């Protein structure tokens, strides 16, 4: 390592990324560290974080609000893709990484830095997402990854930091590793490392427990246009506002908790607790509207491609060619996803109770009805079934001989 003199570091204010600042300077000969933190709606106070980077020795400390692009360019496409990694995790953390990486590459260019850096360890997915995103945006850019290489334990990291005036974490007792943004919270480590120990209530912060959720349910309506959520209970909302309110509504009723064993890119199974109330609710509603508005064959293929889309986002391939190709397919399908879905929220459940699309419904009541308006040609079924069943009838007859 070495050579890089001026580096843009992905900065969160936590111990690891703070220690990266003196470490890069003392051990790797970096002269100027520019800290870069993104506001993704995590609700942290960002000015203290900005100051903390200066105290740790950064020459410049940037905090940028990226909440609008985060929701519009990353969360909404994930909703349109109904993206659920391994069928369950809506990628709340994974979606943030390519955005942060994209902005860091730009900042590095603008400020004439010769490298970027992050404080991810060598065991997680986020290192993969950062490194691959950097590489796909600027293949020549040098990426420094001190926390992957320094080989310090948590205690050693803290005492290294203390030598450079980085305070030990205030609540040394919180054993959890937490990632937070507007789309949700992810919690790992501590007692959660035993997959058979129930998550203690203290790990949750943005959803009610089933016990504490109100007994009384609540009916809500979510409106979509071209696959994007645009309204809640009949009120048009800007994307960020809409996700914020969906979080509050679903979270209040205890919907959106996930407890799963997840397969990381680096081959490890890990136990994850997520709270992603709004995002899960919006995906559920969106899926429902697609069942009303997409043709059967399109819907079937889309369900398969959604899995691929979720996998590649999880695996850090956001800026790659498969993502582009899948997005063309998704975009083409979404122009018809217009309408309103009604949902009943109660005690941890979000139950679909109705769906409507004035512009794009493919539901034909004259075909569906069992009443006297029925226009379906029942006799036509004879010929259809004769031909449809012909191969299997011939096969069965042959086997009997
Ligand atoms: N397992 C999730 C993912 O790979 C979340 C990881 C976030 N980090 C954390 N310290 N909880 O997207």
Query: What residues in the chain have per-residue pLDDT under 50?
Result: 1
CA 126 to ligand 1: nearest atom: 4
Atom of ligand 1 nearest to the CA of 272: 1
Q: Give residue 172's pLDDT.
A: 56
* Number of the ligand 1 atom closest to the C-alpha atom of 94: 12
Sheet strand arrangement including 60-65: 60-65, 32-39, 6-10, 115-117, 142-144
Can you give the pLDDT at residue 169? Answer: 77
What is the CA(177)–ligand 1 centre distance, in A? 8
Q: Please, what's the largest Cα pairwise distance for the chain?
A: 88
Atom 8 of ligand 1, residue of closest alpha carbon: 179
Residues 167, 149: Cα–Cα separation, whole Å: 22
Q: Which residues contact 263 (CB under 8 A, 6 or more apart)?
A: 86, 269
Task: Write out the E strands in 264-399.
Answer: 269-275, 339-346, 349-356
83 Cα–ligand 1 center, Å: 16
Q: 178 is written with which tokens?
A: 């937490």
> Hey, which of 14, 15, 125 would you mutate to test ligand 1's pocket, going by the most ligand atoms within 8 Å of its Cβ?
125
Which residue's CA is the nearest one to ligand 1's atom 2?
Answer: 93
Q: Which of 145, 174, 198 is nearest to 23 (CA)?
A: 145
Distance from Cα 50 to the centre of ligand 1, integer Å: 23
Give me 17's structure tokens. 């990324």
Q: Provide the pLDDT for residue 197.
A: 96
Tokens of 120: 């991810």
By the 8 A CB rule, do 327 and 258 touch? no
Q: Torsions phi, psi of 354, nearest 5?
A: -175, 160
Q: In angstroms, what is the span from residue 220 Cα to ligand 1's centroid?
A: 30
Q: What's the pTM value of the predicted model, to 2 decimals?
A: 0.95
Pocket of ligand 1 (CB under 6 A): 93-94, 125, 177-179, 186, 188, 262, 272
For position 171, what pLDDT does the model report? 62
What amino acid positions are annotated as catalytic residues?
16, 97, 126, 177
Nearest CA to ligand 1 atom 7: 179
pLDDT at 2: 53
Residue 252's SS3 state is helix
**For residue 186, how far is its CA from the centre of ligand 1 (angstroms)?**
6
Q: What's residue 170's pLDDT?
A: 65
- DSSP class of 87: T
- Pocket perturbation via mutation, ligand 1, pick of 15, 126, 189 by most ligand atoms within 8 A of CB: 126
Helices 277-293 and 239-252 meet at what angle, rounded to 10?
110
Query: Ligand 1, residues 188, 203, 315: which to mutate, most atoms within 8 A of Cβ?
Result: 188
Q: DSSP string spanning 92-127?
A: TTTTHHHHHHHHHHHHHHHTT-SEEE----TTSSHH
User: CA-based angle 226:230:231, to the nearest 5?
Assistant: 140
- Nearest ligand 1 atom to the CA of 177 is 10
Ligand 1 atom closest to Cα of 92? 12
Helix (H, G, I), strand (E, B) or coil at 145: coil
| All structural domains of the chain | 6-162 (3.40.50.620), 177-356 (3.90.1260.10), 365-400 (1.20.5)
**Residue with the nearest Cα to atom 1 of ligand 1?**
272
Q: Mutate which of 98, 179, 205 to test ligand 1's pocket (most atoms within 8 Å of Cβ)?
A: 179
Q: Which two tokens stand for residue 39?
A: 């506001």
Rounded to the nearest angstrom, the distance between the alpha carbon of 97 and the centre of ligand 1 is: 11
What is the model's pLDDT at position 233? Answer: 98
In whole angstroms, give the CA distance from residue 38 to residue 61.
11
Kindly report the protein residue whose alpha carbon is nearest to atom 4 of ligand 1: 125
Distant-in-sequence, close-in-space partners of 218: CB < 8 Å, separation ≥ 6: 249, 253, 344, 345, 346
- Nearest atom (ligand 1) to Cα of 124: 4
**CA distances for 344 relative to 132, 140, 337, 353, angstroms:** 41, 51, 21, 7
Dig out the tokens for 368 from the structure. 């569906």
Torsions phi, psi for 168 (to 5 deg): -60, 150
Distance from Cα 351 to the centre of ligand 1, integer Å? 28
CA of 188 relative to ligand 1 center, distance in Å: 7
């Amino acid at each position: 390592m070495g050579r890089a003199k001026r580096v843009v570091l992905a900065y969160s204010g936590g111990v690891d990324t703070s220690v990266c600042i003196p470490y890069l300077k003392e051990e790797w000969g970096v002269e100027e560290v520019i800290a870069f933190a993104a506001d993704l709606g995590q609700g942290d106070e960002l000015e203290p974080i900005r100051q903390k980077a200066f105290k740790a020795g950064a020459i410049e400390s940037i905090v940028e609000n990226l909440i609008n692009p985060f929701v519009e360019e990353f969360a909404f496409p994930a909703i349109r893709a109904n993206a659920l990694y391994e069928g369950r995790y809506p990628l709340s953390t994974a979606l943030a990484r390519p955005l942060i990486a994209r902005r860091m590459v730009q900042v590095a260019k603008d400020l004439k830095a010769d490298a970027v850096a992050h404080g991810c360890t060598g065991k997680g997915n986020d290192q993969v997402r950062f490194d691959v995103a950097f590489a796909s945006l600027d293949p020549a850019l040098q990426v420094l990854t001190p926390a992957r290489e320094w080989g310090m334990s948590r205690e050693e990291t803290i005492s290294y930091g203390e030598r450079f005036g980085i305070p030990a974490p205030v609540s040394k007792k919180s054993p959890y590793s937490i990632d937070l943004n507007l789309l949700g919270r992810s919690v790992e480590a501590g007692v959660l490392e035993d997959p058979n120990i129930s998550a203690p209530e203290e790990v949750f912060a943005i959803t009610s427990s089933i016990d504490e959720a109100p007994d009384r349910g609540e009916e809500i309506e979510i409106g979509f246009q071209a696959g994007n959520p645009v309204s809640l209970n009949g009120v048009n909302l800007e994307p960020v506002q809409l996700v914020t309110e969906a979080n509050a509504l679903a979270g209040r009723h205890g919907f959106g908790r996930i407890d799963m064993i997840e397969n990381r890119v680096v081959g490890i199974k890990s136990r994850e607790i997520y709270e992603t109330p709004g995002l899960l609710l919006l995906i559920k509603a969106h899926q429902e509207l697609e069942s009303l508005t997409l043709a059967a064959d399109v819907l079937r293929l889309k369900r398969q491609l959604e899995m691929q889309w979720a996998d590649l986002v999880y695996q850090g391939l956001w800026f790659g060619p498969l993502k582009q190709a899948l997005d063309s397919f998704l975009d083409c399908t979404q122009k018809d996803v217009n309408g309103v879905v009604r949902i009943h929220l109660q005690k941890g459940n979000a139950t679909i109770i109705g769906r409507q699309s004035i512009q794009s419904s493919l539901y034909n009541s004259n075909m569906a009805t069992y009443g006297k308006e029925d226009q379906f040609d029942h006799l036509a079924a004879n010929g259809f079934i004769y031909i449809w069943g012909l191969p299997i009838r011939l096969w069965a007859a042959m086997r009997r001989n």
